[in-house]
Amino acid sequence: MVWQKEDRFSYETFIGKHKKVCVLFIALFICLSTRLFYLQIIRGGRYRGISEQQRIHNAYERAPRGVIYSADGNVLVENKFAYVALFYPFKQRRTLSAKSIKELSKILGKDVEFIINKCYKYGRFVKLADNLTSEEMLKIREKKLDLEGVSVLKESRRVYYHSEATSHMTGYTGEIRADELEELLGRGYKMGDCIGRGGIEQFYDEYLRGRDGGWQIEVNALGWQIKDFRYVQPEIGASVYSTVDLELQKVAYEALKDSSTGRGAAIVLDTRTGAVKTLVSCPGFDANKAGTKDFGKYLKDKELSLFNRAVQALYPPGSVFKIITFAAAVEIIDIDPEKTVQCKGSFKLGDRYYSCWQKLGHDRLNLISAMALSCNVYFYQLGLKLGIRNLERYARKFYLGQRTKIDLPGEKKGFIPNREWKKSKLKMRWLHGDTVIFSIGQGALWVTPLQMACLISAVANKGVCRKPYIVDRIVDFNGGEIYSHKLESEGRIDLSDKTWTLLHEALLEVVESGTGTRSKIVGIKIAGKTGTAQNSHGDNHAWFVSYAPVDNPEIAVAVIIENGGGGGQNAVPVSRKIYEAYFNMKSGKRLRQ
Amino acid sequence: MIRDKNFNWRLIYRVNFWLIFLAVGLTLIGFIAIYSAGNNNYEISFKYLLVQFLAFGIGLLGFVLLVGFNYQYYKYLDKIIYILSAALLIFVLIFGSSKRGTKGWFDFGFISFQPVEIAKIMFILSLASFLDRKSKDTEKVSFLVSVFAMLAGHLFLIMAQPDFSSTLSYFPVTLTLLFVIGVEPFYLLCAIILGALAVGIPLLKTFLSIQLPLLQDKTFLANLMISLKNFWTCICVVVGILFLIVGGWCFLWKLKIKIALIYPVILCASILLGCIASLPVGKSLKGYQQKRLVVFLNPKIDPRGSGYNIIQSKIAIGSGKFIGKGFKKGTQTQLGFLPEQHTDFIFSVIAEEGGWFIAQLTLLFYFFFIWHAFAIAREAHDRYGSLVATGFAVMFAFYVVINISMVMGMMPVTGIPLPFISYGGSSIFSSLCVVGILCSINMRKYTH
């Protein structure tokens, strides 16, 4: 170290600068270390994920969906298998050779087209031909060496056995759309998946769809297959056991179809549990056609076949609402059931006349007979006495204006109008006239047929509301039960015993001597209420809600026929057919036992 | 003045063994990484390793010779060394063989040699000698001009190959040596501005041509960018900046803050020169090189093209996590997702397969190696030795920092190898030679 001593000054300047350079160098290395730490430790997991993603390709084999059974053990929906020929470039090739195409065409006896479109990504199957017979399949397997890149897979197709009658209850399936994929992000759906649409297929899709299997392969940067990891057997979806009684369902569907307009809905609930024994919306559709060209006609259909009227359609309840007015009147104003009122065919309020459906009038009626004959004038007066507040409160008490929480998709809430709504939406004052028509279930009151079924079921149970359900249990492919319905009480309508007694008496009278006499069956006592709901879009809707047997209720039935005319003439016979079928089956079972 | 003319065997004990240990350690890491980067092809792995072993052997020979040779001779041989290095670069232009469009290799059949690597070392040796001799004249313009003339000679010959990435290390080395010898930092700043403008303007053009379609919304920035594409508006901007500098200087003068007139004049001159120099630079840079430099700003501009390297390299490093994927088990490396994995992106291989631990260890090896080089500069026997050691230290630091920041996506992709580790015979040979010279300087620090 000579320089340091000999030329102190220049050494000092040198060492000063040298130090600065060293400091810069240290700072740069700290930067590098920090960056390295950031990339590997902090973001490491993310980058590991990306690196795995770009080296592993999944070639999926679709899992068959689960089977749907009816309550009486019939298969409603299952899968049929067909063989399809697919192109999959296992052996480092992106296209199918001309030789293979020729050979395949020879085996199948038809020209096979091989089209790879622009969005083809490595690792996807390209369909060459479907619906192969097993002979063709065997031939293709034999000539495996000539047909490089061609694989034969079993593909399942959904089969709906009693399609029209059960269509709305089961729903149908279709390929997942891009918007649905986005919506269901993170639930394991991927492009090209089958997804349930409507009914049980949609609501229980997660159970039904099973787990896709397939090949997992490692590819290099060029997309060539380097090695196979594993083949995973696809796992069939779980079986769904619905509560629906197939025979009853069919009867209900036929009865609705034969009714005046052929449009409508029918629901049969087990009053004891809330199980849906029948859920029909008419007209039905053929779910087998989903995904084909024929299905398009349903989409354009004026009769809205794909629309599940039982839970998605809103109708005015009409005279069925009188049940609520009746109950409210007994509870709140403690009306004397024996007191009679004169019905002259119309009712004057202010300078307007509100007519009864019976233009000639009903003469003198007491509470029970007014209900039995569905006299409007009597109920107008009750409504006026009660006032809109009480009526609205009672409508809510009977769970109108809210979903029943049935396990089917797309259920509507319905609507109960009130003063505030009218003021804010229509900018009009609530008039007495509005109360009058509200008391017989008209006006802006909207209900679904399912709500009506629940209502009558609750009435039959003296206020105990059961949550309606359509799926009893779900069993996975191992036979383990992965879901079962737990009986739960949705709520309770608290009314006095006197009210229930009067109401039951009145509802029984409707069938015995009133508007619902057409449903009378020998030996079984039925109680119910008809309704003829006026609407601005066309003919009146025909309603009939009922339950039987009166003394020990088992089932509750709600029927609506869209634009079907009078409830007594049109809806009641449909219910009658359902009752006949139900009690015949029951006695048949008893006989067999 | 050279004190000991004959080799003294006692000097052997003063060899900086740490330096050698770190260099050999890094080379070994390099062997393992190169073997792993052979892409599952044993033939290629074997060939790479063979070349690397051979170069290491030759490098060791060079190392032993250079350790024995007293570095002080270089001081007096500086002219010869400079002429020799220029001659090497001229020879390669005439007799060399081309690889990837760069005429920069002497081909000896199974092994080829890149003279630029040696020319760099020779340049540092001769530059240090020049600076040592003229250390009293740092204020003179002629001094700076002759230094930049020396630099320009080499740069011109290398750009004629053309080999853009090899010229890069010249700049930090020259600037640091000038700074250390005591040149006014302001002049160096001007030189940096000049260089930045000369390279920056063509790059900005490329950037705009890629990015403009993405900037179609009429924001202020987009309008500015579009207006800059016009030649005449550019001239206006430059003239405006010059006026601002002169005006600012006049303003300060009025405020009785005396700054010599020479400063604004030099600043203006460097800006102008930089703008003018940008034209030939823009022509000599190839389209793909410009694109690569630009793409690092935003790799997502072109994920399948120029941005691919950076993205894949970051994935490779990040996916190594703490313990790494294991030797020969790195998916990015083995499946070919990582580009240039045995040369420029070898650090990604180490980080992916070795994980954070090994990668950080490698970084530390480099750190201590360069730190030792700086320490040698501090303790050298004479100023010449200090300057040479500083130059080498800066060269290594530049290589390491640029390469590793490049693979981690902090710098543009330039073909700068990682010393000792990257595959490349010339690189490892020259690196070992440098270690030899450093040891030679270190051994003789106590001689009287």
Same-domain pairing of A256 and A204:
no
A332: domain range?
A: 246-284+309-472+487-592
The answer to whether position A140 is within a domain reads yes
Distance CA A342, CA B171 (A): 112
The pLDDT of A438-457, averaged and rounded, is 90
Same-domain pairing of A143 and A184:
no
Task: Please give, rounded to a whole number of angstroms, the shortest distance from the CA of B332 to a CA of chain A.
Answer: 7
Distance CA B401, CA A335 (A): 95
What ipTM does the predicted assembly reach? Answer: 0.88
Which chain A residues in 27-66 lie under 8 Å from chain B, judged by CB atoms?
28-29, 31-33, 35-37, 39-41, 43-48, 50-52, 54-55
**Taking the mean position of all CA atoms in its chain, how far away is CA B3?**
34
Distance CA B448, CA B442 (A): 14
Same-domain pairing of A122 and A167:
no
- Check pLDDT > 80 for residue A558: yes
The domain that holds A193 is classified in CATH as 3.90.1310.10
Distance CA A298, CA A307 (A): 10
Q: How confident is the model at residue A183 (pLDDT cuts 50, 70, 90)?
A: confident
Closest-CA residue to B133 (of B186, B171, B77, B87): B77
Task: Please give, rounded to a whole number of angstroms, the shortest distance from the CA of A216 to a CA of chain B.
Answer: 15
- Looking at residue A450, its pLDDT comes to 93
Task: Please give, rounded to a whole number of angstroms, the shortest distance from the CA of A214 to a CA of chain B.
Answer: 22
- Looking at residue B213, its pLDDT comes to 58
Residue position matching structure tokens 């307009």 = A261
Q: Tell me if A219 and B335 make a contact (CB, 8 A cut-off).
A: yes
Does B408 touch chain A if contact means CB atoms closer than 8 Å? yes
Which residues make Cβ contacts (< 8 Å) with residue A231, sequence separation at least 6?
A213, A214, A215
The domain that holds A274 is classified in CATH as 3.40.710.10
Q: Tell me if B321 and A44 make a contact (CB, 8 A cut-off).
A: yes
Same-domain pairing of A205 and A105:
no
What angle, rounded to 10 degrees, do the helices at A134-142 and A98-108 form?
150
Chain A residue numbers touching B355 (CB-CB < 8 A): 40
Whether A191 contacts A185, CB under 8 Å: no
Chain B residue numbers touching A229 (CB-CB < 8 A): none
Burial of B246 (0-12, 13-18, 19+ CB in 10 A): middle
- Looking at residue A93, its pLDDT comes to 54
Distance CA A78, CA A62 (A): 15
Q: What is the DSSP string of B374-396?
A: HHHHHH-SSHHHHHHHHHHHHHH
Distance CA B362, CA A229 (A): 34
The pLDDT of A80-86, averaged and rounded, is 81
- Check pLDDT > 60 for residue A238: yes
Picking from A14, A33, A39, the nearest residue to B363 by CB comes out as A33
Q: Tell me if B180 and A43 make a contact (CB, 8 A cut-off).
A: no
The answer to whether position A6 is within a domain reads no
Same-domain pairing of A455 and A434:
yes
Distances (CA, A) of B219 to A4, A52, A525, B234: 60, 40, 80, 19
- Looking at residue A94, its pLDDT comes to 57
Extents of the domains making up chain B:
9-446
Closest chain A residue to B446, measured at CA: A1
Closest-CA residue to B124 (of B180, B193, B56, B199): B180
Same-domain pairing of A142 and A267:
no
The answer to whether position A504 is within a domain reads yes
Same-domain pairing of A89 and A178:
no
Distance CA B56, CA B44 (A): 18
The pLDDT of A243-247, averaged and rounded, is 91
Neighbours of A299 (CB within 10 A): 10
Which residues are registered as beta bridge partners of B338? none
Same-domain pairing of A133 and A280:
no
User: What is the sign of the dihedral through the CA atoms of B155, B160, B161 and B162?
Assistant: positive
- Per-residue model confidence as pLDDT tens for chain B (448 residues): 455 556 666 777 778 889 999 999 999 999 999 988 876 677 888 888 888 999 999 999 999 999 888 888 898 988 999 999 999 999 999 888 888 777 888 888 777 889 999 999 999 999 999 998 888 888 787 888 899 899 999 988 988 887 878 888 999 999 999 999 888 888 888 888 888 887 777 777 776 666 655 555 555 666 666 666 677 777 788 888 888 888 888 888 888 777 777 777 777 887 888 777 777 777 776 667 666 666 655 555 555 666 788 888 999 999 998 998 988 888 888 888 888 888 889 999 999 999 999 999 999 999 999 999 999 999 888 889 999 999 999 999 999 999 999 899 888 777 888 999 999 889 999 999 999 999 999 888 876 5
- Looking at residue B234, its pLDDT comes to 75
A4-45 pLDDT, tens per residue?
777 788 888 889 999 999 999 999 999 999 999 999 999 999
The answer to whether position A119 is within a domain reads yes
For residue A381 the two structure tokens come to: 């007066």
- Looking at residue B240, its pLDDT comes to 85
Distance CA B446, CA B269 (A): 46
Does A18 touch chain B if contact means CB atoms closer than 8 Å? yes
Distances (CA, A) of B421 to A107, B52, B411, B425: 58, 10, 19, 11
**Taking the mean position of all CA atoms in its chain, how far away is CA A467?**
15
Same-domain pairing of A201 and A331:
no
Closest chain B residue to A20, measured at CA: B180
Does A122 touch chain B if contact means CB atoms closer than 8 Å? no
For residue A128 the two structure tokens come to: 């060459």
The answer to whether position A223 is within a domain reads no
Whether B359 contacts B12, CB under 8 Å: no
Strand, helix or coil at A271? coil
Which chain B residues in 36-65 lie under 8 Å from chain A, judged by CB atoms?
none
Helix (H) or strand (E) holding A58: strand A56-61
Q: Which of A157, A184, A201 is the last residue of a domain?
A: A157
Same-domain pairing of A197 and A97:
no
Does A95 touch chain B if contact means CB atoms closer than 8 Å? no
What angle, rounded to 10 degrees, do the helices at B115-133 and B78-95 form?
160
The pLDDT of A379-407, averaged and rounded, is 89
Chain B residue numbers touching A35 (CB-CB < 8 A): 405, 408, 410
Strand, helix or coil at A556? strand
Distance CA A206, CA A185 (A): 13
Picking from A7, A22, A47, the nearest residue to B318 by CB comes out as A47
Closest-CA residue to A556 (of A448, A449, A396): A449
> Which residue type does B161 have?
Q
Task: Please give, rounded to a whole number of angstroms, the shortest distance from the CA of B225 to a CA of chain A.
Answer: 31
The pLDDT of A155-167, averaged and rounded, is 86
The answer to whether position A220 is within a domain reads no
Which chain B residues in 131-170 lie under 8 Å from chain A, judged by CB atoms?
135
Which chain A residues in 223-242 lie under 8 Å from chain B, judged by CB atoms?
226
- Looking at residue B39, its pLDDT comes to 64
Distances (CA, A) of A81 to A64, A274, A390, A575, B18: 9, 36, 59, 39, 73
As for how many domains chain A has, the answer is 3
The larger pLDDT score, comparing residue A387 to residue B264, is at A387
B79-102 pLDDT, tens per residue?
999 999 999 999 999 888 888 777
Which range among A129-133, A191-195, B22-26 has the greatest average pLDDT? Answer: B22-26
Same-domain pairing of A324 and A198:
no
Q: Checking DSSP bridges between strand A172-175 and strand A150-160, what pairing results, if any? A: unpaired
Helix (H) or strand (E) holding A28: helix A8-37
Does A487 touch chain B if contact means CB atoms closer than 8 Å? no
- Looking at residue A241, its pLDDT comes to 93
Same-domain pairing of A438 and A513:
yes
Burial of A14 (0-12, 13-18, 19+ CB in 10 A): buried
Chain A residue numbers touching B181 (CB-CB < 8 A): 14
Strand, helix or coil at A425? helix
Maximum CA pair distance of chain B? 75
Chain A residue numbers touching B176 (CB-CB < 8 A): 21
User: What is the sign of the dihedral through the CA atoms of A345, A348, A353 and A357?
Assistant: negative
Does A476 touch chain B if contact means CB atoms closer than 8 Å? no
The answer to whether position A48 is within a domain reads no
User: Which of the residue ranges A117-131, A414-428, B26-40 would you say has the lowest mean pLDDT?
Assistant: A117-131
Q: Which of A157, A188, A221 is the last residue of a domain?
A: A157
Across chain A, what does the average pLDDT equal? 85
For residue A274 the two structure tokens come to: 């809330």
The answer to whether position A18 is within a domain reads no
Which residues are registered as beta bridge partners of A278? A268
Cis peptide before A417 (omega within 30 of 0): no
Which residues make Cβ contacts (< 8 Å) with residue A458, sequence separation at least 6?
A398, A399, A464, A465, A466, A493
The pLDDT of A179-204, averaged and rounded, is 83
Closest chain A residue to B396, measured at CA: A25
Closest-CA residue to A559 (of A550, A549, A551, A569): A569
Q: How many CA atoms lie within 13 A of A295 on its CB side?
A: 12
Closest-CA residue to A47 (of B311, B417, B37, B78): B311
Whether A68 contacts A242, CB under 8 Å: yes
Closest chain A residue to B348, measured at CA: A36
Helix (H) or strand (E) holding A277: strand A276-282
Distances (CA, A) of B152 to A541, B170, B174: 97, 10, 11
- Looking at residue A236, its pLDDT comes to 87
Radius of gyration of chain B (CA): 24
Chain A residue numbers touching B363 (CB-CB < 8 A): 29, 32-33, 36
What angle, rounded to 10 degrees, do the helices at B17-36 and B346-379 form?
170
Distance CA A173, CA A287 (A): 8
